[in-house]
Chain A
Amino acid sequence: AQKITQTQPGMFVQEKEAVTLDCTYDTSDPSYGLFWYKQPSSGEMIFLIYQGSYDQQNATEGRYSLNFQKARKSANLVISASQLGDSAMYFCAMRFAGFQKLVFGTGTRLLVSP
């Protein structure tokens, strides 16, 4: 079964600190993509970062990096230098070759304090 697990319902971090949001996945398909999305209270899903299953290097996008450990089936999101505007829900998602369907985790609510 294809499943995404996010074990942290909520995380707290102080402004300017780094934070890691955990994501593990379960699949037997060798070809897949892993995504992280941010959902502010407004509801819109904002794409943050993508990692392909065959990518050799960990993905980075500005302050976001993805710690991809294929053997452990984990794809943790690292946010460096947190900002107040980073407070939101964060979703890890997986997609398979040939399909547009995204399978989402339950999300982690991040709260950044001054």
Chain B
Amino acid sequence: KAGVTQTPRYLIKTRGQQVTLSCSPISGHRSVSWYQQTPGQGLQFLFEYFSETQRNKGNFPGRFSGRQFSNSRSEMNVSTLELGDSALYLCASSVSGRARDEQFFGPGTRLTVL
């Protein structure tokens, strides 16, 4: 069974640009969560989607948005990039989103904002 895939793996953008990251969950998984990892703030929850609906949202500005498609694939968009958005963005999927469900993480997309 294929794992969680994220594309692209590496990305370099300049301030003010926007970026879209993609996440394909494990087949059969309907819940997709996104996390931002930085040296200063650690791992922080961005949002979670289940069956194309955003169920939970972390404490991030509106520049960060996402969506989920009917095949459970998810995209995350960051508009008007800032230097502080440089981070590793991790996507995780789980079967149904129950508290006990294991979340399987992808390899991440490393975003550098210049």
Contact = CB atoms under 8 A, between A and B. Distances in A.
Interface residues of A, number: 28
B107 A101 contact: no
Contacts of A96: 99
B103 A44 contact: no
Interface stretch (A14-22, A69-77, A79-87, A103-111): A103-111
Contact of A50 (B45, B92, B102, B110): B102
A32 B88 contact: no
B97 A104 contact: no
Determine which residue in A33, A91, A100, A106 has the highest number of CB atoms from chain B within 10 A of its CB, and name it.
Answer: A100
Contact of A33 (B56, B88, B100, B108): B100
B8 interface: no
A40 to B, nearest CB: 10
Nearest to B45: A101
Contact of B99 (A31, A43, A46, A91): A31
A64 B50 CA distance: 31
A12 interface: no
A104 B104 contact: no
Contacts of B102: 35, 47, 50
A54 to B, nearest CB: 10
Nearest to A107: B42
Interface string B45-89: 100101000011010000000000000000000000000000010
Given A95-B99, A100-B94, A106 B42 contact: yes
A31 B103 CA distance: 18
B43 interface: yes
A45 interface: yes
Contact of A99 (B88, B99, B105, B107): B99
Given A93-B43, A103-B45, 13 more contacts: A37-B105, A43-B90, A44-B106, A44-B108, A45-B90, A46-B105, A91-B43, A95-B99, A99-B48, A99-B99, A100-B56, A104-B44, A106-B42
